[in-house]
Structure 1
């Protein structure tokens, strides 16, 4: 098995890569404004009258073989402080625009919107995205991996959307202090994307093949400056917060707790492309609660990071590896303990080199004896060829004042855990070939040997074909205490093939089969798991989708497992189980005010049992102010004694009210029958000035049977963004 990853790495490194950008002929000239620009959605300034205008967008969906039917005109200019953008989005007829709400960072495919994708280093890998939907809700994010957008990034910029009978106009001013770019560079990668739900048309200025997102930086055109963009100058932002709160634990019967707290974040531009983020006593009480799931898995579940400090510029750390092999997972930091302070230095050193270094300090947890811990992660990335890169990562989790308490002869925590790794990310110039090859090693007290990981994948994506191969090896002693690696001691092989067909007419846009198989072996190459899946997918021209699938599954348990995950008896280690199942998934048209999705499965389960699952997601919007959603999940498992029949309900209604694009209310309730818990979370947010907010958050947890309040809390938090 050691030969295969070497061969794949050689293939990845030796693949030919074209040097020239695909859309180099698409160029927009930008000149300095000859007059002040007022952000009001009215194109009456002299600066706009003389600015170059680009039009003639290209259709991406439904098909990418023609010009866009809808006209979109874009102009850009700048002055000493801001980059300006104005867009005229013409529509074929009058009528309401299709939007979800006025909430920031909306879902691209569920809104009429316009987006700007900007690559200031012209490296086709990293950049920034800005935009708005037709109701004026803003969108901004950091771009990474050649076309992904991290929407957790929020910064200070202003925009207005103004509606006319035949068009909607989006006008924005983006401060140069908000973005990072190389001093003196006069050519930026850029593309513009528009989504219109009434006509189901997605288009882009520089053409993008339909199998890729319009955010793909491999297909940007060029923004050519008449002079080097002005230096951003000193750029220091202080973001203090004040917090007051009250909480009570009714289940434990403890006294009411009052909370008065304060903290500070700071952002310092070391250079025009390198940023230092500092935090002291951070608080994340306003972060959305996790969406609960019915857990029928043998391994630890993954819940995504939602805390903004860890998300901003965090792709170098969090995207190293694969979904189930993450040497660094920031949710391990501050898990049940306070974070005292932290710092992160991240950004571009030049066009080819990228750096990320983070250090976080947590406090001691008296209840469990967990000591204060320090987390350090460092990542360095070097661009190679046209769009590929080689990365290095180092992670150190250190327990301070180490004095292990003994529990049955084993320490309850370790003195340290370290990880070191190399990774090669392949992205061909046209994005048809993508892949990754990586090597990791961990260092832990008392563990040596079988403590390495190597994995690789290669994927080919064209309009008709998607062909992929992935393999993984994780040693039984490999440990990533600051990461997410739910399974050790295995070898995994996972090929898959998809073929798409495109009818020339009719309601179906594309359809085709997918065949995927996954095999797990132990380190002695004995099979422990495998699953083969056959799926047939249909995408309709109205963007609704249907998938029908069948699967065959085999599992040999590596440790005792309760198939209901409710604390009942467990199946024995080494027991073998196999079954077949089938299912379907349907998602309705996104342009409807009432949207819905339905999925179901039926088939076998562990211990010769059966499982039926049905999941429904319903949504209705009174656009753009109110959005109502309801998620209902039902599982029925029939097993022999001692488990017998088990039914699990998971119900989660949600209410979003966006009174303006600066005033939001969210109410979210979840009932989890498996966990026997019901929780309520409400959040009021007032963005009283750009990037400055007032939050009021109320949470309740209940025991549903018998109905009993477990705990509740109320928090008021004020955040202020100050530029120096």
Structure 2
């Protein structure tokens, strides 16, 4: 019976997608924003002095953009607060000057000064996206606010997998939030609103080798207190600024000079320790040195070299509680692996149901037992015409825990065709260079992404691994089709991961499965009770082993509600089935083999995070395998000034199973003091 229900559900999803594919031809083609929203670049001999005040005479020669239109709340209407942007450039820098008028200047929300803080996106801010290769896929994104704070990101494949509603809580490897480019901002507030002067050096960007350049460009202003977003080149409500295929264009850029594109970063580390035991004194000293080098071979290709790499400056991971049977995904935060990291990405596109990522950089230099020293490495990434190239080679050395040195070679090529489609291949070789076993592991893959219509994208891959002693079945396949427009988000995906598929340099939560997911979601706008948008959804995940025996099923029902004041309410219920063939332990409490059915209810509320005092609450009572579980969490944040803020959070999991019980508590408090937009104490 369950098998019949599953097949009927999947057939319904496939029929809807096929119907929409059939409609793709007759639907009126979306107008080309590249031509409808186009400005000709104005070159000057010398740019303005950045002081946050638009009083330099040179700004008057810049091209004016003042026709911003709303995406939210009233799509297509002019922005409620007048917005002007001037654009100009010299041979080495692109300049943008913003005048963000505001009829209630005291209502401007600006309390976040920390670099790359996501809170910047919740307050008043101004966003820029540059598609320097005009490929409608990749881009650089720059964000600032009335305090001159900076947030920057690299975008690959239009941020595929990203959700417009950030409260969904899922990230995507196609948006590199940890990339830090070199650019400059000065901002100020006055009686008419706020202004900002932005300078983006050409050396920060990659672009084609041509005398005359045309780039994709889009601009967005967020008015925090109104929860209003306004764009220069309009983007429908289903998408965000990362939809670079809908950007306007900046044309006529000439004789650009990236200067000397060489950055060398040497480093020295040192330390000492003294241990006294049983009258014996042991003094030890630690010292090390190394260097990172970044060099632009061409305007489109970048070479990174590292020797005796030090990752001491990398940001630590956020604490997570894992009450599943499978590993959690932690994003990469080490600088050497970040720039153009999206070019190496091959895998599932749904971060909420991560089936496989064939290349996961945290497999290099990190292990369950700690850090593995990196002797050195080199990486070449970039674009040549419609071709994306990415090559990396890294060598580690053994450590005191007995891990042998290893060499990692990763090569990735993809070719863009049509307006938003691509095809590519990936090869990964991991080879042990020390010890006796000389173990190796290899991954081969081909992948494609097809976009026959602006709202329809089909993604797929085929992969094979090669590991000594694992030959029963070492193949994997995956396909994902999604329809996304202003009213609907509908997708189906299917993955087949054979028992011995073993991408040791990738992220694979579960092998030996066949898994499918079908998802229906629409976004009604009641226009009453202070509700801006609702997102009722239903989806099913159905997973079998390689013998087609059901091992997991999840039925998910959710109602998300976004309010006009920026608050968000989320209610969901999950109905689970799990089959355990072997004993499994949660925190030392064993679960016996068998079939388990249980249900999970969850209610969460988040106030508008742009307010000076904000909070969130979550309550989730549920049955859990052969027992029950209750999850509760709360957080509160206060922005005392534009430099000083604090946030406290607490979460608790109470789990009661037939073989025992346990509780997990996770508390944190963060205090931030911003000395400037580039320096923060935490």
* TM, length-normalised to structure 2: 0.89
Matched, 1:361 2:395: yes
Matches within 5 A, 1:177-216: 177-184=203-210, 185-216=212-243
Matched, 1:343 2:378: yes
1:379 to 401, 412, 419: 412
Partner of 1:156: 182
2:534 to 496, 499, 511: 511
Q: 1:285 to 1:256 in 2, by over 3 A?
A: farther
Matched, 1:106 2:156: no
Question: Is contact 1:345–1:358 with CA below 8 Å preserved after alignment?
Answer: yes
What per-residue deviation string (whole Å, max 9, x for no partner) do you get for residues 528-570 of structure 1?
11010111111111121111111211100143211xx2234x3
Question: Is contact 2:615–2:635 with CA below 8 Å preserved after alignment?
Answer: yes
1:142 to 133, 151, 154: 154
2:276 and 2:124 map into 1 onto residues whose CA distance is 47
1:429 and 1:231 map into 2 onto residues whose CA distance is 37
**Unmatched 5+ stretches in structure 1:** 405-413, 667-724
1:556 and 1:119 map into 2 onto residues whose CA distance is 47
1:257 shift after superposition: 5.3
Question: Is contact 2:21–2:456 with CA below 8 Å preserved after alignment?
Answer: no
Question: Is contact 1:218–1:429 with CA below 8 Å preserved after alignment?
Answer: no
Partner of 1:463: 486
Partner of 2:673: 657
Moved more, 585-594 or 237-246: 237-246
**For 1:60, what is the secondary structure of its paired residue?**
strand
Matched, 1:535 2:562: no
1:396 shift after superposition: 0.8
Matches within 5 A, 1:6-405: 21-33=32-44, 35-95=46-106, 97-107=108-118, 108-147=120-159, 149-184=175-210, 185-225=212-252, 227-245=253-271, 258-322=285-349, 323-335=354-366, 336-350=371-385, 352-367=386-401, 369-404=402-437
Partner of 2:618: 599
Q: 1:19 to 1:397 in 2, by over 3 A?
A: farther
2:273 and 2:250 map into 1 onto residues whose CA distance is 53
Question: Is contact 1:231–1:272 with CA below 8 Å preserved after alignment?
Answer: no
Question: Is contact 2:105–2:190 with CA below 8 Å preserved after alignment?
Answer: no
1:623 to 641, 644, 648: 641
**For 2:60, what is the secondary structure of its paired residue?**
helix
2:616 and 2:650 map into 1 onto residues whose CA distance is 11
Q: 1:401 to 1:319 in 2, by over 3 A?
A: same
Partner of 1:692: none
Partner of 1:544: 567
1:505 shift after superposition: 4.3
Partner of 1:703: none
1:651 and 1:43 map into 2 onto residues whose CA distance is 45
Partner of 2:171: none
Matches within 5 A, 1:543-692: 543-562=566-585, 565-568=586-589, 570-573=590-593, 575-606=594-625, 608-641=626-659, 643=660, 645-666=661-682
1:590 and 1:39 map into 2 onto residues whose CA distance is 30
1:417 to 423, 430, 441: 441
Moved more, 504-513 or 263-272: 504-513
Q: 1:613 to 1:254 in 2, by over 3 A?
A: farther
Partner of 1:704: none
Partner of 1:706: none
1:248 and 1:662 map into 2 onto residues whose CA distance is 36
Question: Is contact 1:34–1:47 with CA below 8 Å preserved after alignment?
Answer: no
1:280 and 1:396 map into 2 onto residues whose CA distance is 20
What per-residue deviation string (whole Å, max 9, x for no partner) do you get for residues 355-376 of structure 1?
0000111011232x32110011
Moved more, 24-33 or 188-197: 24-33
1:558 and 1:398 map into 2 onto residues whose CA distance is 33
**For 2:669, what is the secondary structure of its paired residue?**
strand
Question: Is contact 2:129–2:218 with CA below 8 Å preserved after alignment?
Answer: yes
1:334 shift after superposition: 0.7
Q: 1:247 to 1:553 in 2, by over 3 A?
A: farther
1:321 and 1:378 map into 2 onto residues whose CA distance is 19
Structure with the higher helix share, 1 or 2: 2
**For 2:584, what is the secondary structure of its paired residue?**
coil
Root-mean-square deviation (Å): 2.7
1:286 and 1:190 map into 2 onto residues whose CA distance is 33
* TM, length-normalised to structure 1: 0.84
Q: 1:87 to 1:523 in 2, by over 3 A?
A: same
1:126 and 1:36 map into 2 onto residues whose CA distance is 27
1:76 and 1:447 map into 2 onto residues whose CA distance is 58
Moved more, 253-262 or 278-287: 253-262
**For 1:481, what is the secondary structure of its paired residue?**
coil
Question: Is contact 2:355–2:495 with CA below 8 Å preserved after alignment?
Answer: no
1:22 shift after superposition: 3.9
1:290 and 1:256 map into 2 onto residues whose CA distance is 32
Question: Is contact 2:53–2:187 with CA below 8 Å preserved after alignment?
Answer: no
1:249 and 1:60 map into 2 onto residues whose CA distance is 63
What per-residue deviation string (whole Å, max 9, x for no partner) do you get for residues 371-395 of structure 1?
1100111111111211121121111
Q: 1:149 to 1:482 in 2, by over 3 A?
A: closer
1:124 shift after superposition: 0.7
1:279 shift after superposition: 0.7
**Unmatched 5+ stretches in structure 2:** 4-9, 160-173
**For 2:310, what is the secondary structure of its paired residue?**
coil
**For 1:309, what is the secondary structure of its paired residue?**
helix
**For 2:36, what is the secondary structure of its paired residue?**
coil
Q: 1:36 to 1:572 in 2, by over 3 A?
A: closer
Q: 1:423 to 1:558 in 2, by over 3 A?
A: farther
Question: Is contact 1:22–1:429 with CA below 8 Å preserved after alignment?
Answer: no
1:280 shift after superposition: 0.9
Q: 1:248 to 1:528 in 2, by over 3 A?
A: farther
1:233 shift after superposition: 4.2
What per-residue deviation string (whole Å, max 9, x for no partner) do you get for residues 148-178 of structure 1?
5423222322221122211211112222111
**For 2:382, what is the secondary structure of its paired residue?**
strand
Count residues in correspondence.
642
1:520 and 1:619 map into 2 onto residues whose CA distance is 40
